Amino acid sequence: MDFEPYRGELVAYCYRMLGSFHEAEDLVQETMLRAWKARDRYDPNRASVRTWLYRIATNVCLTALEGRARRPLPSGLGTPSEDPGTPLTPATDIPWLQPFPDARYDMEARADMRLALVVALQRLPARQRAVLVLREVLQFSAAEVADQLDTTVPAVNSTLQRARAALTDVGDGDTITEPDDPEEREVIDRYLRAFEQADVPALVRLLADAVVLEMPPVPFWFRGTEHYGAFMRRVFELRGTDWALRPITANSQPALAAYARDPGGGRWLHSVQVFTVVSGRVTRNVVFTEPQVLASFDLPRRISPDRPLPPR
């Protein structure tokens, strides 16, 4: 039996459940190992290989989630900061939500991978989370989900209703454009050029009035163009104005890999910035700087100052 063709979609499923790309990869590896050990007990008359694998993966995820705190972003922990000069002290004790590096897996569909939904899913109890993703995203039947969770169809339907009721606010999902939308690409290209030119007024002109900027593992966040602009001025003061950025995607959203100038020569990978663009304006920028997160994107850690970045 060949389980490998299902790896990418299983990683995406476990990511939605856990909010961690690295844990998702580990749990899919465990799923594959369990499936291989149980291959002689697989009954093709009861379920397809894909449905059977999701049953195993669901059990692996539910076990992993027992006793776990949800993975948040800073905006889920409190009110926005009013001081762009606050020390950038990371909160390493918080299991932060991680982005999903799109280029790592070739999947036909990346529906409902956006950060706003993954954050919202983390607020659900684990079984509600599983039922919602299996039914609404992956389109398994209620009977299949009942079998995967060792429960009944009425119980699945009831759990799905409660999950839907809890997810009444998942951000700007209905109005977010696709990553290859021409208007969205133009906004991100203009943002890239303004960032590389350290042009804060040009950056601010691309923002929605209530834009959100957050930077896990730093626990505070900002709302509004004034604070966003003030913080960007601080970034250029701290890290210099000589940056190189490369367009990528994460969570099916536009993203930029940002390289800062190294005083010793060259540039180093500083962050991956994941954008939400609505109606031609940036409404949210989540800036990830943790080394483990950056490594998941398989980007060069250092580049020559004179060599252009390779295309995405």
CA atoms within 13 A on the CB side of 31: 32
Closest CA to 52 of 66, 42, 64: 42
pTM for the predicted model, two decimal places: 0.92
Is residue 211 one of the residues assigned to a domain? Answer: yes
Under the phi-then-psi rule, with left for phi > 0, alpha for psi from -120 to 50, and beta for the rest, what region is 259?
beta
Is residue 48 one of the residues assigned to a domain? Answer: no
Closest CA to 181 of 113, 257, 275, 246: 275
CATH code where residue 268 lies: 3.10.450.50
Q: Tell me the pLDDT of the chain (312 aa) as tens digits.
A: 889 999 999 999 999 999 999 999 999 999 999 999 999 999 999 999 999 999 999 999 999 999 888 999 999 999 999 998 889 999 999 999 999 999 998 766 565 789 999 999 999 999 999 999 999 999 999 999 999 999 999 999 999 999 999 887 554 444 555 556 888 999 999 999 999 999 999 999 999 999 999 999 999 999 999 999 999 999 999 999 999 999 999 999 999 999 999 887 889 999 999 999 999 999 999 999 999 999 999 999 998 866 555 554
Expressed as residue numbers, the domain containing 191 is: 182-303
Is residue 150 one of the residues assigned to a domain? Answer: no
Is residue 153 one of the residues assigned to a domain? Answer: no
Task: Locate 26 and state its tokens.
Answer: 């580990």
Residues with Cβ within 8 Å of residue 46, at least 6 apart in sequence: 52, 147
Domain count of the chain? 1
Residue 167, pLDDT score = 84
Is residue 177 one of the residues assigned to a domain? Answer: no
Is residue 41 one of the residues assigned to a domain? Answer: no
